[in-house]
Structure 1
Amino acid sequence: MRIIDHHIVGSTANPHTAARLADVFDPNAGSVQAQVRLGTAADLERAVAAAQAAQPGWAANNPQRRARVMFAFKALVEAHVDELAHLLSSEHGKVLADARGDIQRGLDVIEFACGIPHVLKGEYTQGAGPGIDVYSMRQPLGIGAGITPFNFPAMIPMWMFGVAIACGNAFILKPSERDPSVPVRLAELMREAGAPEGILQVVHGDKEMVDAILDHPAIGAVSFVGSSDIAHYVYRRGVAAGKRVQAMGGAKNHGIVMPDADLDQVVNELSGAAFGSAGERCMALPVVVPVGAATAEALREKLVPAIAKLRIGISTDRDADYGPVVNAAHKARVEAWIQKGVDEGAELVVDGRGFTLQGHEAGFFIGPSLFDHVTPAMESYREEIFGPVLQMVRAADFEEALSLPSQHQYGNGVAIFTRNGHAAREFAARVNVGMVGINVPIPVPVAYHSFGGWKRSAFGDTNQHGMEGVKFWTKVKTITQRWPDGAPDGSNAFVIPTMG
């Protein structure tokens, strides 16, 4: 059995003597393909020691030299993209095209990080007072850490460590134990690109490792993506330990369909946004809100045959629209939510339970499901399902449609489909959600903007990547300088200085 170990400088652990191992499944076959070592606080201590040894020298490099390593890393990832995509698909289950997209969206942030010499430039004011200049600089925090989810094992780690490392920090990554191989491979490629040993390390583990990261005094900042309950826990514990924390949580993204929308476009967009990657995306679109009864009936009439045409297959099937979910426990959880919706009185128009793929009957496959007549009072609407399930909530008018995502506990993303510029502008300005798409079903911002939701979708006041990421992984130092002429005059030494 293959053992996936930590990527820690000087690791001497014997993989055959580990006390705690977790199974890594092949979701297509439903079988265990490897095991990952679950680390302890002692493993983290070794990683921190290596990071502390490497970080000062790395930060002392000028930003151009750090950028050259990021350029080299980008080129290596691109050269190994097929290897990484197959490895990712084999543990996660998403189809290869989606796996490549996962990697590319991470590389977009690496490309942004290649421009770090420009974005680290501070501010300067000449003559702020008599003979006084004021300037600022951004300096690294020291050691940062990332705790990442299973659904994007390449993209989200690169979102975090790309900016953090380019800014001069060392970084310790704790990926999901469900699909840990790609993060380890990325760390190997970062070392090959020229980053010193200790600058990017990977530790595996469960809550024990998470708590060790949150409590360690040498780790200055923690970035997290996962469920909202755990995000809130990470935020509270990390802040209590004196850390800077950004913790991204769950989502229940809505797609508002106005009566003037192009329904063929909407159905095409919904098919990918709701069911792509088996719905295992925090920016999936699992709720559609048609405005008006006529819109709802016309949309439903087009959705049902479109869903019937979706092809579910193994992750290497080039014709498959989506593959299996990550493991048996997650499959059972999604199917339980489907039953919950039935029990609550929603109409199950298309039932994806019981789907099997010939030749892969033990795989973790779920067919697409569609609910109609879902109401805001239903728990299945209030909570995140994170599977290939689309729920239709009918709205009588624009105001009701606007209120649904605005009043929901999550506020990650939302989309509106319309030809009406005024309606789109009004919606974007008023909706109580952090990321908005206008005729864009999955409004994930480009790398030089920032990613972040509102309400229970995010804890902390700084978003991922872009300039928000640079701010998160650095601290500002402001210098006020004067070069006096002649002998100093101490007559006003006890008066607070002013610039007048």
Structure 2
Amino acid sequence: MRALLQLSSVARRSLAGSVRPLRNIRLVSTTKLFIDGQVVESQATEWIDVIDPATQSIVTRVPQTTAAELEAAASSAQTAFEKWRRTTVGTRQRVMLDLQQLIRDDSENLMRIMVGEQGKVLADARGDVHRGLQVVEAMAGLAPQLMGHRAEVAADMATHTVREPLGVLAGVCPFNFPALIPLWMIPVALATGNTLLLKPSERAPGAAMRLAHLCTQAGVPPGVLNVVHGSRPTVDFLTADQRVKAVSFVGGDRAGRHIFERATAHGQRCQANLGAKNHAVVMPDASREQALAAITGAAFGAAGQRCMALSVAVFVGAAADWIPELAERAARLRVDGGLEPGADLGPLISVQALQRARDLIQTSVEQGAHLALDGRGVRVAKYPRGNFLGPTVVDHVTPAMACYTEEVFAPVLSCVRVASLDEALALVNANRYGNGAAIFTRSGAAAARFQADVGAGQVGVNVAIPVPLPMFSFTGNRGSFLGDTNFYGPGGVAFCTQLKTVTSLWRREDAEEIDHASAVHMPTLH
């Protein structure tokens, strides 16, 4: 293991993995591993190209971590846990306080890493960092959530609870939030006394590597956070190794089901956020300007590549008359490279994702939908090879159409027309997903009815993307979530810890005092 972890001179230069050109030949950088507090040049024989979705250039190459490297990371995490778990909650909170300041100071760097690898526009990358930062800040005040309970249960007998860390945890992250999702996992796992094996997306690994560097600066000891890379072989290791006690996953349905089934089969806890089909119900009495502005941002921001993106707008009655104006608003959004001033949405992650979205749009048109706005013809002169799709509004959609049944994961909004709130609720609840839903209305009665009867886990009233702040938990449900305990907030703390109950008996008679009078005179020898 010592040989494996020995740093090369190249590996020491940067967590981003820059390699100095040799003999004037430009080499593509490689992404490193982060094991036992050190940057490690992988000995992998298989590499995955990270492609800039705006230019198709190779940004870096990600290793398929070898079996020996995965073993080293897991061993490091297990060894580190024995000491880290015994640190005080105050010590771990102090690390979180330092980490939040380091992230804040480094946010510009993190943002630019994400733009280059994932294609986000800067404003969206900023939100990615700062929403994750809120979880770090929440964990800096963790202590009350770890406090147990105590009760007298019988004469001279009491029971109290202790919340303890599980051990080594694993996190598997998606491409669409390269900083936010690692920051759902790292602060909660570490602040509760666990160690973590983190696998960032092989499409956008740079932000996670940078966060590992910042964690070290904040005082996270070697082995407490390890970062490994790769695709299915890495996932299969994490979901089978007996040192790993729990697995967190955010991503698509197929991978999520595989991870959940494999992890639980090996006795691991698992929480898995999967796909989504989020609806916004627009009532005729809603504030027109507010509703259309909110729906436009929620549907097309981040190029639609987020699990809480608004992908279906359900217009009740006369509210359907607003669809042309919605299309006009969407048409004014600027599609461009992530670093370009004024860009509202950037490219999709891959050529394949772009083609899939185009195909779903075309299929829906063939099935009878009407394109109020077609974004397939958008061109960005400066980035002719980019995976760009402009905002697209598909009207007269029915639940049988491809753009409704599939999670498009692109800037595509399906508009469904219904006659009543009852019909709207039936539509939303018939969908298999349950991440989020929203209603736009001025009626308190309609809002109350909606929030009581809708089947989604996160509900917005005149709020298009109702993602809760980390004093709460992310509470997607039904087909959008597998597991029993949600991410971050109280749910995340519960997921990363286990309760221990201690019952003790101290009989009163055992505490009877024996009279030992104090002698005040000069002692004498006998």
Question: Could you tell me the TM-score, scaled by structure 1's length?
Answer: 0.95
Number of the residue aligned with 1:378: 401
Q: State whether structure 2 residue 197 is matched by structure 1 residue 172.
A: yes
Number of the residue aligned with 2:60: 34
Contact persistence 1:128–1:134 (CA under 8 A): yes
Number of the residue aligned with 1:464: 487
CA distance in 2, matches of 1:341, 1:146: 36
Instruction: Specify the SS of the correspondent of 2:247.
Output: strand
Instruction: Specify the SS of the correspondent of 2:499.
Output: strand
Structure 2 stretches lacking a partner, 5+ long = 1-27, 512-526
1:83 positional shift: 0.6
Q: 1:167 to 1:487 in 2, by over 3 A?
A: closer
> Aligned to 2:425, which of 396, 402, 416?
402
Matches for 1:391-470 after TM superposition, within 5 Å: 391-470=414-493
Q: State whether structure 2 residue 32 is matched by structure 1 residue 5.
A: yes
Contact persistence 2:274–2:479 (CA under 8 A): yes
Contact persistence 2:153–2:159 (CA under 8 A): yes
> Aligned to 1:284, which of 302, 309, 328?
309
Question: Could you tell me the TM-score, scaled by structure 2's length?
Answer: 0.90
Q: State whether structure 2 residue 222 is matched by structure 1 residue 197.
A: yes
Contact persistence 1:382–1:409 (CA under 8 A): no
Question: Residue by residue, what CA displacement relative to the aligned partner does 1:150-202 show, whole Å, maximum 9, x if unpaired?
Answer: 01111111111111100000001111100000001101110111010111111
In structure 2, give the amino acid aligned to 1:81: S
Q: State whether structure 2 residue 175 is matched by structure 1 residue 150.
A: yes
Instruction: Specify the SS of the correspondent of 2:103.
Output: helix
Question: Residue by residue, what CA displacement relative to the aligned partner does 1:324-365 show, whole Å, maximum 9, x if unpaired?
Answer: 111212112211211221222211221111322012101111
1:42 positional shift: 2.8
> Aligned to 1:306, which of 329, 340, 343?
329
Number of the residue aligned with 1:296: 320
CA distance in 2, matches of 1:57, 1:18: 31
Number of the residue aligned with 1:129: 154
CA distance in 2, matches of 1:354, 1:3: 35
RMSD after superposition: 1.4
Q: State whether structure 2 residue 125 is matched by structure 1 residue 104.
A: no
Question: Residue by residue, what CA displacement relative to the aligned partner does 1:62-115 show, whole Å, maximum 9, x if unpaired?
Answer: 100011011111110011011111111111111111101101111111111111
Deviates more, 1:209-218 or 1:324-333: 324-333
Number of the residue aligned with 2:121: 95
Structure 1 stretches lacking a partner, 5+ long = 489-500
Instruction: Specify the SS of the correspondent of 2:55.
Output: coil
Instruction: Specify the SS of the correspondent of 1:381.
Output: helix
Identical positions, percent: 44
Question: Residue by residue, what CA displacement relative to the aligned partner does 1:137-162 show, whole Å, maximum 9, x if unpaired?
Answer: 10000011110100111111111111
Q: 1:12 to 1:188 in 2, by over 3 A?
A: closer
> Greater relative contact order (Cα 8 A, min sep 6): structure 1 or 2?
1
Number of the residue aligned with 1:207: 232
Contact persistence 2:139–2:191 (CA under 8 A): yes
Number of the residue aligned with 1:163: 188
Contact persistence 1:314–1:324 (CA under 8 A): yes
Deviates more, 1:373-382 or 1:439-448: 373-382
CA distance in 1, matches of 2:355, 2:32: 28
1:11 positional shift: 6.6
CA distance in 2, matches of 1:192, 1:70: 11
Q: State whether structure 2 residue 306 is matched by structure 1 residue 269.
A: no
Contact persistence 2:96–2:218 (CA under 8 A): yes
CA distance in 1, matches of 2:258, 2:368: 33
Contact persistence 1:287–1:390 (CA under 8 A): yes
Contact persistence 2:37–2:225 (CA under 8 A): no
CA distance in 1, matches of 2:267, 2:324: 54
CA distance in 1, matches of 2:190, 2:138: 12
1:318 positional shift: 2.8
1:304 positional shift: 2.0
1:248 positional shift: 0.7
In structure 2, give the amino acid aligned to 1:62: T
Instruction: Specify the SS of the correspondent of 1:265.
Output: helix
Contact persistence 1:248–1:452 (CA under 8 A): no
Number of the residue aligned with 1:81: 107
Number of the residue aligned with 1:497: none
Q: 1:86 to 1:13 in 2, by over 3 A?
A: closer
In structure 1, give the amino acid aligned to 2:145: V
Contact persistence 2:474–2:486 (CA under 8 A): yes
Instruction: Specify the SS of the correspondent of 1:390.
Output: strand
CA distance in 2, matches of 1:313, 1:82: 19
Q: State whether structure 2 residue 221 is matched by structure 1 residue 185.
A: no
CA distance in 2, matches of 1:199, 1:317: 38
1:236 positional shift: 1.2
Instruction: Specify the SS of the correspondent of 1:7.
Output: strand
Question: Residue by residue, what CA displacement relative to the aligned partner does 1:382-426 show, whole Å, maximum 9, x if unpaired?
Answer: 110000001001111110101111110111000000000010011
Contact persistence 1:256–1:289 (CA under 8 A): yes
In structure 1, give the amino acid aligned to 2:319: T
Count matched residues: 484
In structure 2, give the amino acid aligned to 1:19: T
Q: State whether structure 2 residue 500 is matched by structure 1 residue 477.
A: yes
